[in-house]
Chain A
């Protein structure tokens, strides 16, 4: 089945130690998103790609970076994770137009 796959499902890292989360999709969608979601809060958009065109939200910390080497893969890099970065990170995709976004299962990030 076509889907959005996030790895790993759970990630534990140390304070200040760089971490990379990955997302892949078999839907051939041209738009990919990264969201951060904390408990009882709405998903917060960090950035999105339209094809290779990168769009950063104004309030996304510089600590967060992203790469999209090809249509299928997108990575979220957190350069120096702080305790406040512990959250669920969600990857989503969509086609252009009015189609909904399809989410992966998410990566739960814990910071020690």
Chain B
């Protein structure tokens, strides 16, 4: 059973701080990793994709991947109240699979 684990939260951070969201996955051959943001009552919105070990930065967002530890994280710098949402980690297995395994999401609350 392929699993993706996230802390459900809520994770509360003050405005302007760094929010750190973590995700572990069980399938060692996983190739692609995604972070989606989902506001309450809305559909998931892609924030970041990462495919190789290391860091990938896009504006205030940094994704970090460590395949040896089966760990992927998302850092949000200078957190804003508008970042308050549930963040879903999604993992795609090896070549030939078109499915994603989603974590249950971490609810982030940015306090003004």
Which residues on A are within 8 Å of B, measured CB to CB? Answer: 31, 40-43, 45, 48, 50, 88, 90, 94, 96, 98, 100-106, 108
Given the complex of chains A and B, what is the CA–CA distance between A108 and B36 in angstroms? 19
User: Is B67 in the interface zone, CB < 8 Å from A?
Assistant: no
Task: Give every chain A residue within 8 A of B51 (Cβ-Cβ).
Answer: 98
B: interface residue count bin: 20 to 34
B31 adjacent to A98 (CB under 8 Å): yes
A90 adjacent to B99 (CB under 8 Å): no
A100 adjacent to B34 (CB under 8 Å): yes
Given the complex of chains A and B, what is the CA–CA distance between A45 and B2 in angstroms? 14
Given the complex of chains A and B, what is the CA–CA distance between A108 and B32 in angstroms? 29
B43 adjacent to A42 (CB under 8 Å): no
A90 adjacent to B98 (CB under 8 Å): no
Task: Give every chain A residue within 8 A of B45 (Cβ-Cβ).
Answer: 103
Given the complex of chains A and B, what is the CA–CA distance between A100 and B48 in angstroms? 9
A101 adjacent to B100 (CB under 8 Å): yes
Contact of B98 among A96, A105, A106, A108 (CB under 8 A): A96
